[in-house]
Amino acid sequence: MLPQPSDEAARRLAGEQNIWFASVRPDGRPHLAPVWFVFFEGRVYIGTDPRSVKSRNVQRNPHVSLALEGAAKPVICEGTARVLAPPYPEGLLAAFLQKYEWDVPGDGQYNQVVEISPSKWLA
């Protein structure tokens, strides 16, 4: 069973537009980037360019951290990431469409889905 964020953190995850995504480069240096995301069925999902640094990093090293914007009330997630291949979990694409009006598979560039399974929530 996956750890779950607090109720307040879950509300923020549902409403906030950006999350900071930290992954590890092959030489061990961190890579940090703001991304669009959805919190869906206990996991965090992002859409990215399959050629991006983020995508290449998680395929080599799945350990990632995420943080919502706003340091006054931090919400941080540590977990493991993996690139998903279709078919995606039922309802996931609708969640991206509802939150951002974004058709991830139809996007010409940012059409890869990465799933993050939380191992720890910090708030």
Average pLDDT of the segment spanning 57-69? 97
- Domains of the chain are 7-122 (2.30.110.10)
Buried b (16+ CB within 10 A) or exposed e, 21-37: bbbbeeeeeeeeeebbb
The tens digit of pLDDT for each residue in 92-113 reads 999 999 999 988 888 788 889 9
30: left (phi over 0), alpha (psi -120 to 50) or beta: beta
The model's pLDDT over 5-42, given as tens digits with 9 standing for 90+, comes to 999 999 999 999 999 999 999 999 999 999 999 999 99
Percentage above 70 pLDDT, the chain: 100
pTM of the full structure? 0.94
Q: Which helix (H) or strand (E) holds 24?
A: strand 18-24
